[in-house]
Structure 1
Amino acid sequence: MASSFKVKARYTPYLLRFKFDAGTSRGVLRTKKTYLIQLISADFPGTAGYGEAGPLAGLSIDDREDFERQLADVLSEMEQISFPFQEAKIMEILAQKVSFQLPSIRFGMETALLDLLNGGKRYLLPNDFYDKGRPIPINGLIWMGDKEFMYRQIREKLEQGFDCIKLKIGSIDFEQECELLASIRKQFDEHEVTLRVDANGAFASADALGKLGNLAKYKLHSIEQPIQQGNWEEMGALCRNTPVPVALDEELIGIHEPFTKQRLLEEIQPQYIILKPTLLGGIAASREWIKMAESRNIGWWITSALESNVGLNAIAQFTSSLNPEVPQGLGTGKLYHNNFESPLAMMGGELYYQKGKKWSNLKEVF
């Protein structure tokens, strides 16, 4: 038996279309461009491995004009490599060969190679989500918009059975956002519904602590990225004095050297970190962050970043392999009119893998 295998690689762009105007701190999203990667190999006849490279506009460090050329160049280089059959060694090679400046491509290659290695069934690594049908608890995401639009989303999520709700804040008047939180707390206490908020860096450093004091009245689980990333000293002071646990999100983007990761965690000492594999460089990079966080008693959860079901499935299986203890941010599978059919399903605030359902024929996309 061969000790290694080589691949033929290609990609195709795919434009995902939102079912609604998705409000974010970086504007309203109506479409999301992503790229599917396909790998085939003579050592795995009749099968193909698929991954997704989908940088987020305005946020990913590989959101760049020459992204498609960079992707083509990386795939060309991948065709020259003899890959071992061991997952750990594949991860080492990708960390060496795919620049940290191209995190979504590294994640897409990890996914495609692991899929190919495991028979092209969209199965990546041992995990109870796929292997045993064990669901992953997830938070219900409330998109930015006017007060009525946000309130309508909240009602829908609660009716669907979510007991963890995450609101994106910072787009409307702060008092109106507090009114939305108050309306939930009038009906459900913190033991019945967990509330998270995501400020996406919207608060000014000078008044962030005061706003967190107001938000604390609503018994929040956490607030993501209250001030802009890159202000380690101000963020550290906030984390030491905050009445609401702080979760770092954008703060982690672009940080890749182990020493710098350690310094960030030690100087800021957040209560939580949030991991988006597409933005951080994939599975291996996310594992490194988690190991460092856990050694410092920092909590974590994993969030998808508007991938199609191809990327979401990979992130969900990776998440499940870690046996998460809190709801994860993986509720993005129903955002699009033209997502790929998959066994992924959301029910009652949980994400399931239903093996009886089939995947779209991804070969037809190429």
Structure 2
Amino acid sequence: MSITLPGPTLGVVGGGQLGRMLAEAASPLGVDLVVLDPTPDCPAATVAADQIVADFDDADAIGDLASRVDALTFEIELADPDVLAAASEAHGVPVHPDPETLETIQDKLVQKEALADAGIPVPEFVAVATPEGLERVVEEFGGVMLKAREGGYDGRGNVPVETPDAAAAALDEVGGAAMAEEFLDFEREIAVMGLKGADGETRTYPVTETVHREEILRESVAPARADDAVVAEAESVARDVLDVLDGRGVFGIELFETRDGDVLVNEIAPRPHNSGHWTIEGARTSQFENHVRAVLGWPLGPTDLVAPAVTANVLGDVDETEPATLRNVETVLGAPDADLHWYGKADVYPLRKMGHLTVTDAQSDPGAVSVDERDALLDRARELRDGLTFEA
């Protein structure tokens, strides 16, 4: 392959914070982005070359997008795989990851069945569609995590059900057809950002520890505070997952480490993921740059850790929706070990992801960083993040 600059134009369905960071990563490569998003002046609009304002399943608009670009991708699971495939065929532009992969991942039950059929370790799960069926499953499992089969991501559409008498309300909350998954007594949640390039090449980023509260990712610690055997197993499982998925790009593979040291797959995102934001400062090539490279069929960049890193999400700390003004920013800007990323969202509401900050330890040996040093980085990131507020 002969690559020249200026480079091609990449079309992205979705223009949220992931689209924004894709555009930021693409620009130094000479690649322009055109994003499609229903929100006028979406977060990606200020850094992308252009925005098409349309719904994620608008066939005419996605056809227009395909006619203007050299390749297509998506940064949100709400993209319509059939529409993407049709636009790709009609305009002769590739779309990655493969729309069939997106279709599989969009339905959490189908996703889990595909993984289980491939021999990949997953928690016990079962399809449920009625309150009576869910009651029986809750009794059998001693409580479950109920997940909407479609439309849920980043913790949305998940409802814990601990007793049979909570079944009807929980099923109504997720909207009917769902998947019930056993509650796990896990040691920690971890993640691997997997990467598929041209000619079947695969790479993985270092295993990351993810810290959730109220089903929302709060912090990511890289490398994970897990022992070597768990890290090796997580990397092996992640590569097995990549073998199941078709198409090029970055895949966020969320995992559980059980109390017994086993590694089970939780969910997969066919796109860059919040748990990989640390790669912007902490890896040789960020997940966003590598997604652009992969989708275009360009050589992949190294995924090596260059510095231990902790990312802390900046979430809305207000009681109701209001115009977004983040205060005390100088505390992060004045920190020599921290980098701030603002997502450009006009309004803030409770627990909305508005940005993140990453603290790195450039003085530590990435291959020999102690758990204590990672604990200190996590404390530092939390301290800086908790000093920020949207409240007047």
Q: Same fold (TM over 0.5)?
A: no
> For the superposition of Structure 1 and Structure 2, which TM-score range results when normalised by the shorter chain?
under 0.3
Q: What TM-score results when the alignment is normalised by the length of structure 1? A: 0.24
Q: Which has the higher strand share?
A: 2
Q: What TM-score results when the alignment is normalised by the length of structure 2? A: 0.23
